[in-house]
Structure formats: structure tokens, C-alpha cells
Structure 1
Amino acid sequence: MTYYPKTFLLLGSLFLFCACTNRMSIDKLKDQISSKLAEQPGNFAVAFKDLSTGEMLLLNDQDFFHAASTMKTPVMIEVYKQAAAGRFSLNDSFALKNLFSSIVDNSAFSLNAHDDSDTTLYQHLGEKYSLYNLVYDMIIRSSNLATNMVIELVNAHNVTQTMRQLGADKIQVLRGVEDSKAFDKGLNNVTTANDLLVIYEKMAQGEIVDNASSQAMIKILLNQEFNDIIPARLPKDVKVAHKTGNISHVLHDSGIVFLPNGKKYVLVILSKNLQNEANAKKAMAEVSEMIYNYVITPRES
């Protein structure tokens, strides 16, 4: 029989206790988040990763959701990729238009300005607008008009292919916005919480196209004007580079959270089949706050 010194046994026990404490802490957080979201009728997914420690929390992260406007981040990524390849410059200008082709039969359709979160571009149809400004409006104001022009330029198939190259295996960008014929046939853009986590992590690490491109995209995302979910309950000195998405009964938010001490984490919160969107939005903002509090709370070591 082998005997171990009491000091060795004590240190081993303390190590196991601390390891279990840390592990149970993230499990307890997951339980609390699940309970919070269970109060709201609907389906939710959460994906969180602390980029300093690698610690993760995943809840329904592989479930499919209608991407809504979260797909605009993959579209922006494709723009920067093609610009880096020399296909065009972000300073190139394009005439604003409101006529697009359905992916079903190439028939023409137009967007309704009243259904767009950004109506300003419709007042300038025919005028030249830089590609950078189109991308900027697509992200910070979620302009559908800008989105459809940009997707027509870069091609939705290329967006999806780039997502696969980045390791996002389920995001699918098929089309622009308000293609009703495609919608009627179930041809929709889809995503998972895990795939959005993958692309935002790579962006945060400067690994999408190159570091300069990643930082340029983050700078745009930091100017997001819709801040009702991830940033809503966080301190003002916490910065969030993110993209939201919403359609009927669907609310999403996804991005990178930057803390004043230099730490950063990725957070994705998706939802569908909502019955009360205002209550769901509040609960999702509370989940973001719970994760923030978890990250800033010192751990025993």
C-alpha cells in the first residue's frame, strides 16, 4: 500500500475543490440563464466564450434560427474579403436603387421603405453612395436597401462559402431582404448561435481577412444604434461591437463585448416563436447582464 504525505493530500483536495467550484460556477450560471429564459414563451439559444480564459457556455447553440439581420455581419465579412482580393474598393461608389431580383425566378421586386429600419436612403435613389457607407448603414442602422445592394455585389453564395472557410458550418445566406417569393418557398437565411460565436471570435482575434480588416469591421459594429439587448444593462464604459436582428416573433443579438480592463468575450443570444417580444427582450438583456457579472467576478484559484 502506498502512503502519501498529509500535505500532499491536502493540496490535492484543495485543487479538486477549486476545480469543481469553477466548473460548477459556469454550470450554475447556465442553470440560472435557462431558468430566466424559460419564463418567456419561445425558444432561445445562447453562446458565450471568454476570450481570456477560453471558458464557454452553450445553450441550444446548434439549433437553427431564421438569421434575420444577423446575416449582415457575414455579408460585411465578404465585402472586406473581396476588397482585400482587389475586386473593388470600399471607396467605390454605386447609384442607389430599389429594384432587385428574386432568387426564385429572377423576377423584379422592390423594398417598402416603411418596413425598413433606415428610411433615409430611399430619399436619395439614383444618387451615388460609397460601398463603405452602404456597409456602414447595413450594420449600424440595419438598412435593408443597403443590404440588398451589397448582397447583389458580393453574391450570397460567396458569403456562405466564406462562412464555411471560417468554420461556421451551418450559417446559410441565400438572399437579400423581402424576397417574398423565396420566403414563400422556405428559402431563408439561417444561423446558429455557435456559428455566430465562431465568426465573432475570429474577428476579435484579428483572423478574418487580416487584422486591419477585422479591426475595421469591429469599429463599424461598435457604432451599432440598436442597443436594447446585449448592451442594455451593461455599464457605459463597456463597449459592444454587435449586430442585432429581428422579424416577427424573432429577436437576436450577437457580438463582442470589450471590458475596460482589456478583457473581451463573445456573446450570442437568439430567439424565435416569441409571444411577447418586449418581455423577451428584457429577459435577454438580463441574461447579458448575468454573463457580464460572471465575467467580472473574481474566481478562486
Structure 2
Amino acid sequence: MNFEHISEKILACFHSLEGNQSLFVMAPDGEISYNADQPVSAASVIKLGIMIEALKQIDDHKLEFESEISIDPTNIVEGAGVVALLSKHLNWTISDLIKLMIITSDNTATNQLIDVLGRAEINHTMKKAGAFHSKLMRKMMDRKAVKAGKDNMVSAKDTYLLLNELVNSHLLSKSSMDWAIDVLKQQQFKDKFPAKISNLKNQVLANKTGELPGVEHDAGILSTSSGPVIYVFLTAGLIENRYGREAIANSGRLLYDFYK
């Protein structure tokens, strides 16, 4: 089976889905693209852009990994993560907050990082990466902002460009790139890309997921003997979320089996 055949099978996984899909894969054997520049609701995939800005500020000596900060009560929200459930008197390092934001998708940690880093700075850095269709417009779980038409948006091609910053040095130092990859490899949400890979090798997948009602995303870097495979599968407007998870899981199995 050649890469063109695999590309067709991967795209077919999404053809029956309702709503909007934005897909992009850059692999050693070629690329797969479908509505790659179409922005969709970002869910937690926007946290990739926040992490890159945090690491950039650390590289620029504006922040330090071990700087300790407390959580502003206004940033404590529900949803994914554990910070909101723990003592309000704890201090957290910048390193802690980034890891919580990525590994457990902690929304409270994310909101605190947005305050520390600055929304304008995060958006500026995403644009410097070439992610012109993406924008951070609100904090996590801000339903009032969503009702007012302010939602965080990303496209598949933009998300690929953000992940590519962790593979090809441009905005970040090599040590920050390696640190970010290591954090992404500790991802605890495994119900999409790796869900149907029973023999997934350790330390080969570095990814970030995102989900909201009607939204299922997975974006990451798969390490292979042929080189990195950067994939972005974004699905929005789903009637049932399980269909999006299924499409991404089937695509993940196809890509993994082709390159294993």
C-alpha cells in the first residue's frame, strides 16, 4: 500500500461526518490536506499556541520555569484539570502550569497562563509562526464570550505550523523544543489518535487533544524511522462526538501502521 492509497483511506474516514473538518498531515512521503485553512472552534488545541508563547518568553528571559505564582480566583473554572479542586493557597511554577495545561488540559492553569503571558503576545507569536487563521479571543470556559461571538479559532494548517515550531527551529531554542515534545508525550487523553493502536511504542507520540460538545480534535507529532509525521485532525459541528473520535482513531491507526 502506497502513501497515496493511505491518504485516500484517511480522508474517507471523515467524508461521512457532518459539520466542518479541517485536516492536514505532513509526512516523509507527502502531505494530506482537506479544508486545511478553514478555521474551526479551537477547544483545547489553542493551548499549543499558549505553550509556545510561554517557552518563547522563557527563552527571552522574561519568565523562568521555576517562577512561582498563585492562581487568581477569577481564573478558577470547571472542565478539564485538577487545579480548581485543590487548595486555593497553593503556589505553582510556570513549568507546573504548562504541564498541567498540556498533559491534563487544565483550564484553570491555562487561564492563569493567559494572564501571565498576555493575550496579544500569544496571538502575535502564533502569527509569527504563520498561523494567520488562528486567534485566542477568550479564556477557557468563558461561555459569555462564546455567546457574544468570541471564540478561539484554529485551522489544521495553522496547527501544523505551531507543531512544526517544535520540530524545526525558528521561534524557540532547541532545549525549549525538546522540553515541549517531552511534555506532549505525557498526554493523558488517549481516546482519539492512539485509541486503536494496541502496540503503540513508548515515546513515539507527542500530541494535544481538544473537545467540546460537537468538537473533537487531535494534533501531534508521530516519531517514525522515516522522520516525523505531523498530523492535525480537527472536527467540528458533530451531531455526536463519538463519530469524530472514531474518525480520528481510524486515521491514527492507518498512519501508525503505514510507518511502524
TM-score for both structures, normalised by structure 1: 0.80
Partner residue, 2:92: 129
Partner residue, 2:34: 59
Match of 1:94 among 51, 66, 69: 69
Partner residue, 1:229: 192
- Report the residue type matching 1:222 in the other structure: K
Q: Which has the larger radius of gyration?
A: 1
Q: Is the 8 A contact 1:206 1:212 kept in 2?
A: no
Give, in angstroms, the shift of residue 217 of structure 1: 0.7
Q: Is the 8 A contact 2:22 2:39 kept in 1?
A: no
Give, in angstroms, the shift of residue 140 of structure 1: 0.4
Counterpart Cα distance in 2 of 1:218 and 1:99: 30
Partner residue, 2:217: 252
TM-score for both structures, normalised by structure 2: 0.92
Match of 1:217 among 168, 180, 188: 180
Counterpart Cα distance in 1 of 2:18 and 2:137: 29
Counterpart Cα distance in 2 of 1:233 and 1:263: 22
Q: Size of the alignment, in residue pairs?
A: 258
State whether structure 2 residue 53 is matched by structure 1 residue 78.
Answer: yes
Match of 2:208 among 234, 237, 243: 243
Q: Structure 2, unaligned stretches of length 5 or more?
A: none
- Report the residue type matching 1:168 in the other structure: A
Correspondence list, 1:1-301, <5 A: 25-50=2-27, 52-53=28-29, 55-100=30-75, 111=77, 113=78, 116-234=79-197, 235-237=199-201, 239-259=204-224, 261=225, 263-296=227-260
What percent of counterpart residues are identical?
22
Distance 1:126 1:262, change over 3 A: farther
Distance 1:31 1:253, change over 3 A: same
1:133 match: secondary structure = helix
Q: Is the 8 A contact 1:26 1:57 kept in 2?
A: no
Q: Is the 8 A contact 1:98 1:145 kept in 2?
A: no
Q: Is the 8 A contact 2:135 2:153 kept in 1?
A: yes
**1:5-54 deviation digits (Å, cap 9, x = unpaired):** xxxxxxxxxxxxxxxxx9xx44433332232222333332221111x45x
Counterpart Cα distance in 1 of 2:93 and 2:226: 33
Give, in angstroms, the shift of residue 120 of structure 1: 4.3
Query: What RMSD over aligned residues (CA atoms) do the two structures have, in Å?
Result: 1.9
Counterpart Cα distance in 2 of 1:67 and 1:120: 22
Q: Is the 8 A contact 1:96 1:121 kept in 2?
A: no
